[in-house]
Amino acid sequence: MMRPTRNGAQLITNTQGSAPGTGPQPADFTDVRATNLAVVLRFVRENAPCSRADIAASTGLNKATVSSLVADLIDRRLLRETGLTENRVGRPATMLVLDGSPYAAVGIEVNVDYLTAVAVDLKGEALLSWRRAFPGGSASSGQAVAGIAGVARRVVTRMTKEARQVLGLTVAVPGLVDLNGSVRLAPNMGWRDVDLAGDLAKALRDPGFPVLADNDANLGALAELRFGPHGGVRDLVYLTGEIGVGAGIVLDGRLRRGGAGFSGEIGHIEIVPGGPPCHCGRRGCLEVVAGLGALLDRTVPGGVSPAELEPEIDEVVQRAEAGDPVVLDLLDTLAGNLGRGVGIVANLLNPEVVVLGGYYVKLAPWILARAEREMLGRSLAPAGGGCRLVVSGLGYGAAALGAAARVLDSVDSGRLPAPA
């Protein structure tokens, strides 16, 4: 019998952020139930299709308990029985899968020039993926919120038409977002102190599901954790590669936002003292020596316009492919500077993986190796403390996907929809 060891002391802890200073909350039976429901749900997510017996064997829960938990989850329409049975000796098992049809999790990513909306089902499979131009940089924050609300409403009605209940909506923003979902500073958007989560909830008039906002890098990290090929990784850092550079930090399996929610601002760490000026007022920030703005400023005549970012990057890629020495040299320098930033992360946080996202993905063939060398050479721990530098496979919508993942995470953490 391969009963898994339960390693001693466990504590019941708040999964959602609790008020600071509040001690750990006591536990009662409903917490046990919620915990075990979440355990079963996550197990099925990772091992579907599987039988009740599989769950009992792997989690260590009693068979009877598993049956009860599964019945509860089926009541809540989170799981579904498939008629399928395995073809082995003994009584055939009724297999369980996540029920993909009744629910949707919605994520929206806003940026200077575009807006991405995605909806996924419980399994994480895409139900909808929109990308449209969005004057985030030029509109007032009020107009922007109205625009986001409009898109959100259309997504919700679409989901409702498909008979899906929306479990939640999260918005990803490139900027400082506090723990209440209020945008405190988004330089590229020109926002300051915009209560995005609150205003959006108001604009949606009691939507019946939680509305959250978070930093795009944080949500990118969540997307990698859930949808990326990083099985079992609990310490991961995601780097956005847009005009700005931000980091999403996952340690011990959860996003770490810092005291005010402003962690991950790697873009304004000084990498080259006395280097080129940054719009933040300082010099030599990672963003200006390893961000895309700097690269394009020097390769594209006439400077960068956010709306033209995509074709401009493509031009850089083409010139790199053609062997243009100027571009190759610029990319190599960028890679070196990026590697120095990654080295700082590796030394300070010792993650298992650092994932490069955004436009870094397209540039990876020319920057990944150099940046990784640089990181390894700067890490005190041998072999970088086991840190790998990899490229995201999620494409541009990573933050939007992560915003949807944020909703699924809260379900996985025990916020289950009520039974029918």
- Residues in region 11-50 near DNA by CB under 7 A: 26-30, 32-33, 36
Q: Is 158 in the site for its own copies (CB under 8 A)?
A: no
Examine residue 405 and tell whether it contacts its own copies (CB under 8 A): no
Size of the site for its own copies (CB under 8 A): 92
| Binding residues for its own copies restricted to 101-120, rule: CB under 8 A | none
**55 near 1, Cβ under 8 Å?**
no
Which residue from 124, 147, 198, 385 is in contact with its own copies, where contact means CB under 8 A? 385
* Tokens describing residue 287: 């963003």
Q: How far is the CB of 11 from DNA (least distance, A)?
A: 12
Q: Mark the segment that binds its own copies (CB under 8 A) among 88-96, 101-109, 391-399, 407-415.
A: 407-415
Which whole-number Å values give the CA distances from 132 to 242, 250, 353, in the listed order?
17, 29, 31
Residue 68's binding partner among its own copies, DNA, none (Cβ under 5 to 8 angstroms by kind) is DNA
How would you label 80-118 residue by residue, b for 16+ Cβ within 10 Å and e otherwise? Answer: beeeeeeeeeeeebbbbbbbbebbbbbbbbbbbbbbbbb
208 binds its own copies (CB under 8 A): no
Nearer to its own copies by C-beta: 158 or 178? 178
Token pair for 375: 């990181």
The backbone region for 14, taken as left when phi is positive above 0, alpha when psi lies in -120 to 50, beta otherwise, is beta
State the DSSP H helix or E strand holding residue 237, giving kind and residue range, or none if neither.
strand 236-239
> What is the rounded distance in angstroms from the CA atom of residue 81 to the CA atom of residue 104?
20
Query: Which of 10-38 are b and which e, b meaning 16 or more Cβ less than 10 Å from the residue's Cβ?
Result: eeeeebeeeeeeeeeeeeeeeeeebbbbb
What character string, x for contact with DNA (CB under 7 A) and - otherwise, covers 90-119?
xxxxxx------------------------
Q: What is the DSSP letter of 382?
A: G
The answer to whether 13 contacts its own copies (rule: CB under 8 A) is yes
**Binding status of residue 52 toward DNA by CB under 7 A:** yes
Q: From 86-94, 117-125, 308-316, 374-382, give the range in contact with its own copies by CB under 8 A.
A: 374-382
Residue 347 as a binder of DNA (CB under 7 A): the answer is no
What the block records as the tokens of 112 is 């200077």
Shortest CB 395 distance to its own copies, Å: 26
CA–CA dist 383, 43 (Å, integer): 33
Smallest distance, its own copies to C-beta of residue 347, A:
4
What's the closest the beta carbon of residue 415 comes to its own copies, in angstroms? 5
DSSP state for residue 82 in the 8-state scheme? -
CA distance 110 to 112: 7
User: Judged by CB, which is closer to its own copies: 20, or 303?
Assistant: 20
- Measure Cα distances from 407 to 108, 209, 293 in Å: 12, 10, 32
**Per-residue x/- track, 247-276, its own copies (CB under 8 A):** x-x-xx-x-xxxxxxxxxxxxxxx-xx---
Which partner, its own copies, DNA, none, binds residue 206 by CB below 5 to 8 Å per kind?
A: none
The option from DNA, its own copies, none interacting with 8 (CB < 5 to 8 A, set by class) reads its own copies
Which part of the chain contacts its own copies (CB under 8 A), choosing from 19-27, 127-135, 218-226, 312-320? 19-27
Are 331 and 295 spatial neighbours (Cβ–Cβ below 8 Å)?
yes
| 413 belongs to the binding site for DNA (CB under 7 A) | no
Binding footprint of DNA on the chain (CB under 7 A): 26-30, 32-33, 36, 51-54, 60-65, 67-71, 85, 87-95
